[in-house]
Structure 1
Amino acid sequence: MSTLSALVESLRPRSWTKNLFIFAGVLFGRQWSPEAIGITALGALGFSLLAGSVYLVNDIADRARDAQHPDKRSRPLASGRLSPAAAWLSAFVLASGTLSAAWLSAPRFALVCSGYMLMQTAYSFRLKHVVILDSLVIAMGFVLRALAGVELAQDCGFAVEISPWLLLCTFFLAVFIAFSKRRSEVVTLGEAAGEHRAILRDYSPHLLDEMIGIATAASIMSFAVYTVSERTAEMVSPMLWTTIPFVVYGIFRYLFLVHRRGLGGSPDRILLSDRPLLFNILLWILSVMAVLRYFPAKGNA
């Protein structure tokens, strides 16, 4: 039982909130039927299990360094509660089982999942050691999540597409979160940051603040351009721009938590524990649904 609980912990269920990006396609594509939501939820669960296998591989590769980290040393592999052999076996079973089921039922969804798996494996063993690219790879993972949801819906016969501007917004928002996490690591570990991970020597709070600022502006601007574009007015809603304030507040609230509360090292914990941010996200989702419901696209009016 202790091994099972350690395995579940290593799958990082808290981090599965990232897979909510899979719902972007059905949300903005107005595919809100129980069938569409149910299929997307199954896809999110499958993607979560696949991501869990990636976390296992990553923790295997990092277990020696994690053992020296003030927070990560309590992870099952770093603390010795889960053996590398059990982790490897579990990762193989989860990845092969999930991908096999995906290829049999939704090939295009499976293709995106396979690309995600390959990218994250390369990240675990090499790309995480390349400055800046390490954070960009994390950001691409969020883009692939959004694409996976779209491809799954299309595999199942739903008319869903996603705007390149929305994908850009997803990318820059994820870059913002990734650099905020690096900033937290550099500030928290201080002089010992490079000992835990050599790449952290190449970062500084000032450099990260500059890149966070750029990512912040790009996130807001790309979402704003998406909402006011003629294509969005014709295919989604001409009033989607009214949801911009929620996006601005959410990003600024996150910045506040990073700079004034010393958070940022664990994005999933921020999303699940900060009530103003969580409430804002809920209001944003409800406002998007209300706009799409009461102010339909010109083509659907």
Structure 2
Amino acid sequence: MAERDSALIERPERPGRPGRPAQTRAVGLPAGLLRTARPRQWIKNVLVVAAPAAAGDLGSWHAAVQLAIVFALFTAAASAVYLINDALDADADRAHPVKCHRPVAAGEVPVTVAHTVGAVLGIVAVAGAAALCGAMTGALLAAYVSMQLAYCLWLKHVLVVDLAVVTTGFLMRAMIGGVALGIPLSHWFLITTGFGALFTVAAKRYSEAVQMEDQKGATRALLGEYTTGYLRFVWQLAAGVAVLAYCLWALESGGVAASALLPWRQLSVIAFILAVLRYAVFADRGTAGAPEDVVLRDRALAVIGLMWVAMYGLAVADL
């Protein structure tokens, strides 16, 4: 009995996780860091190809390599922000019924480790962008990291500004591929992308507000300050502006090439509007809280998206 008591006394314990062996903690730390970096959110960074795709400049190895580098660097920068955000919000997340399972809040990743890894990733991402893709790309990525850190510390508590900051983050993703390849960004591209991003962000907030109406104390900052009517107005307005801008761009982009079978660029308006209308179904139901799930799991939306890609590709190729 004495030997058993001695063994229990000598066994190292982790605060908040009694009896968990040190070896298990060591193995779990990399996995915890990876989970904190939100791999499911990395799909958003595919937007780095938006500007080159809009310009029809995806056909060279140089462009492919540059975009792969930009994707990796933007993913590192976004992961850095997630790590630092979770470290800053660890105490608040422990009181949240869902966020308490995040690795930092649950004690799987120490706060100091999350801060350190986040800072290193952010610095490496910005420095790598400047060295590998040019000073302007590095400056844009530095602006993204700075803005997101300001959001984590302060801006997420400012009404409307919080929506603008998250929207701008999406817009920067769409811009950085064009900046890295030296592609001029048209005003129609920026308007369509910006308001399309606002549509997605406001729909996400609206869905969260609908689902958490009776749990205002257990949701993100400021969500209780918005009414569902206001958020519905924002995503409907943003969807309308995005559709209008895309239509004007498609109609003003020039004539149809003699070799083209059909005016594919103009016809792509149909697929674009259908995609917006399909996504709006989930927004209206209050089930667009996770945009990546909507995009990946809805087959009809995926088919519409492929139709749009095919039409746009044919327009670029003048077929």
- In structure 1, C-alpha distance between the alignment counterparts of 2:197 and 2:84, rounded to whole Å: 22
2:270 is aligned to: 245
- In structure 1, C-alpha distance between the alignment counterparts of 2:185 and 2:94, rounded to whole Å: 41
For 1:253, the aligned partner's letter is: R
Question: Is 1:99–1:110's contact at 8 Å kept on the other side of the alignment?
Answer: yes
1:283 is aligned to: 307
**Counterpart among 164, 184, 202 of residue 207 in structure 2:** 184
Tell me if 1:163 matches 2:186. Answer: yes
Question: How far is the alpha carbon of 1:283 from its aligned partner?
Answer: 2.5
Question: How far is the alpha carbon of 1:239 from its aligned partner?
Answer: 4.4
**Counterpart among 17, 38, 41 of residue 15 in structure 1:** 41
1:159-193: CA deviations, max 9, x gaps? x2221111111111111111111112212222322
1:219 is aligned to: 242
Question: Is 2:126–2:142's contact at 8 Å kept on the other side of the alignment?
Answer: yes
1:298 is aligned to: none
**Counterpart among 197, 203, 208 of residue 231 in structure 2:** 208
Specify whether residues 234 and 8 from structure 1 end up closer, same or farther in structure 2 by C-alpha distance, changes over 3 A only.
Answer: farther
Question: How far is the alpha carbon of 1:279 from its aligned partner?
Answer: 2.7
Specify whether residues 63 and 255 from structure 1 end up closer, same or farther in structure 2 by C-alpha distance, changes over 3 A only.
Answer: farther
Tell me if 1:109 matches 2:113. Answer: no
Question: How far is the alpha carbon of 1:286 from its aligned partner?
Answer: 2.2
Question: How far is the alpha carbon of 1:234 from its aligned partner?
Answer: 7.3
- TM-score normalised to the size of structure 2? 0.84
Question: How far is the alpha carbon of 1:115 from its aligned partner?
Answer: 0.8
2:281 is aligned to: 256
2:121 is aligned to: 94
- In structure 2, C-alpha distance between the alignment counterparts of 1:12 and 1:100, rounded to whole Å: 22
Counting only pairs closer than 5 Å after superposition, residues 23-172 of structure 1 correspond to structure 2 as 23-31=49-57, 32-105=59-132, 106-154=134-182, 160-172=183-195
Q: Which has the higher contact order (CA 8 A, sep 6+)?
A: 1
Tell me the SS of whatever aligns to 2:287. Answer: coil
- In structure 2, C-alpha distance between the alignment counterparts of 1:178 and 1:69, rounded to whole Å: 22
Specify whether residues 198 and 47 from structure 1 end up closer, same or farther in structure 2 by C-alpha distance, changes over 3 A only.
Answer: closer
Specify whether residues 68 and 275 from structure 1 end up closer, same or farther in structure 2 by C-alpha distance, changes over 3 A only.
Answer: farther
For 2:202, the aligned partner's letter is: F
Question: How far is the alpha carbon of 1:61 from its aligned partner?
Answer: 2.4
- In structure 1, C-alpha distance between the alignment counterparts of 2:255 and 2:29, rounded to whole Å: 53
Task: Report % sequence identity.
Answer: 28
Question: How far is the alpha carbon of 1:49 from its aligned partner?
Answer: 0.8
Tell me the SS of whatever aligns to 1:80. Answer: coil
Question: How far is the alpha carbon of 1:25 from its aligned partner?
Answer: 2.0
Question: Is 1:66–1:196's contact at 8 Å kept on the other side of the alignment?
Answer: no
Question: How far is the alpha carbon of 1:194 from its aligned partner?
Answer: 4.3
- In structure 2, C-alpha distance between the alignment counterparts of 1:235 and 1:45, rounded to whole Å: 37
Tell me the SS of whatever aligns to 1:77. Answer: coil
1:299 is aligned to: none
For 1:182, the aligned partner's letter is: R
Moved over 4 A (4+): 234-239
2:21 is aligned to: none
Question: Is 2:156–2:221's contact at 8 Å kept on the other side of the alignment?
Answer: no
- TM-score normalised to the size of structure 1? 0.89
Question: Is 1:186–1:205's contact at 8 Å kept on the other side of the alignment?
Answer: yes
Question: How far is the alpha carbon of 1:195 from its aligned partner?
Answer: 5.0
Structure with the greater alpha carbon radius of gyration: 2
1:274 is aligned to: 298
Unaligned residue ranges in structure 2 (runs of 5+): 1-26
- In structure 1, C-alpha distance between the alignment counterparts of 2:110 and 2:278, rounded to whole Å: 39
Structure (1 or 2) with the greater helix fraction: 1
Question: How far is the alpha carbon of 1:129 from its aligned partner?
Answer: 0.6
For 1:258, the aligned partner's letter is: A
Specify whether residues 271 and 65 from structure 1 end up closer, same or farther in structure 2 by C-alpha distance, changes over 3 A only.
Answer: farther
- In structure 2, C-alpha distance between the alignment counterparts of 1:235 and 1:143, rounded to whole Å: 29
